[in-house]
Amino acid sequence: MKKAIVFLMLTVLFTSAQSQIIELEETEVKLNSVPLISNVNSKTNEFIIKEGYTSQFHENALEFVKKNFDVQEFIENSRHNNSTSYEVAFRSPKGFLQATYNEEGEMVNSYQKFKDIALPYEIRNRIYPDFRGWTITKNSFVARGKMDKIDKSFYKIKLERGNEKERIKLSTANTSHTGLVSN
C-alpha cells in the first residue's frame, strides 16, 4: 500500500512538473453564411426558403426575412426598373409571405398565409378545453400588416370527431389574447 501511495505521489509530482502553460496567438474565425433564401424567378421577384429553414420561416416569417434577406442588395440589383416600390414573394412548401418594400428598403406592407403548420402552444391550449377528443385535420394562418408589424392575424382550424366536423377561427390580435369563433 505504501508503494502505491508513493508511486501515486511521484506521478502527480512528475506530471505537474512537466505541465506547462502555452499561450497561443489570437486567431480570427469567420463564418461564411449560407444563403437560406434562393431566388427562383427574378422577373416575379419570387424567392424560395431552403428546406432546412422552413420551420423557422413558418414560426415568424417577418423576422426570418428581416434577418436573412438583404433588401438593399435586392433593390440595388433591381434599380434598372426605375420603380419606387418592390413586391417580393417568399415561398415555402406550406405557404408564403408577400412583402412590398419602398425605395429605401423599408417594408411597407405584408401578407402571409400558411397551411397545415405546427400550431403555437397558446393556440393549442386555447382549443383543447373546448374540443377534448377532437382531432385537428387542417389549419391555416393568415396575417396582414404594415411596416414590419402584423396588424391582423388569425387561424382557421378544421376539427373532426367521428362524423362530426367543426370549423373554428381564432383571431390573434396579440398571441396572449385569442378569440374563439365557431362556424
Residue-wise pLDDT for 119-158, tens only, equals: 999 999 999 999 999 999 999 999 999 988 999 999 999 9
Residue-wise pLDDT for 49-78, tens only, equals: 888 888 899 999 999 999 999 889 888 887
Q: Report in angstroms the alpha-carbon separations of 29 from 26, 32, 154.
A: 10, 10, 43
Q: How many Cβ atoms are within 10 Å of 116's Cβ, its own excluded?
A: 14
Domain count, the chain: 2
pLDDT band for 79, please (50, 70, 90 cuts): confident
Residues 56 and 61: their CA atoms lie apart, in Å, by 8
Instruction: Identify whether residues 62 and 92 lie together within a single domain.
Output: yes
Q: What is the mean pLDDT of the chain?
A: 82
Mean pLDDT of 93-115: 94
Q: How many Cβ atoms are within 10 Å of 72's Cβ, its own excluded?
A: 11
Instruction: Identify whether residues 47 and 92 lie together within a single domain.
Output: yes
In a domain, 5, yes or no: no
What is the percent of the chain where pLDDT is above 90? 48
What is the reported pLDDT for 22? 72
Last residue of a domain, one of 111, 139, 164: 111
In a domain, 12, yes or no: no
pLDDT at 34 over 60: no
In angstroms, how far is the first alpha carbon of the chain from the final one? 83
Residue 134's domain is classified under what CATH number? 3.10.450
In a domain, 181, yes or no: yes
pLDDT band for 40, please (50, 70, 90 cuts): low
At 141 the three-state DSSP class reads strand
| Residue 157 and residue 168 in contact, taking contact as beta carbons nearer than 8 Å | yes
Last residue of a domain, one of 71, 90, 111: 111
Range(s) of the domain holding residue 156: 119-183
Last residue of a domain, one of 55, 87, 111: 111
Residues 182 and 143: their CA atoms lie apart, in Å, by 19
Burial class (CB in 10 A: 0-12, 13-18, 19+), 110: buried
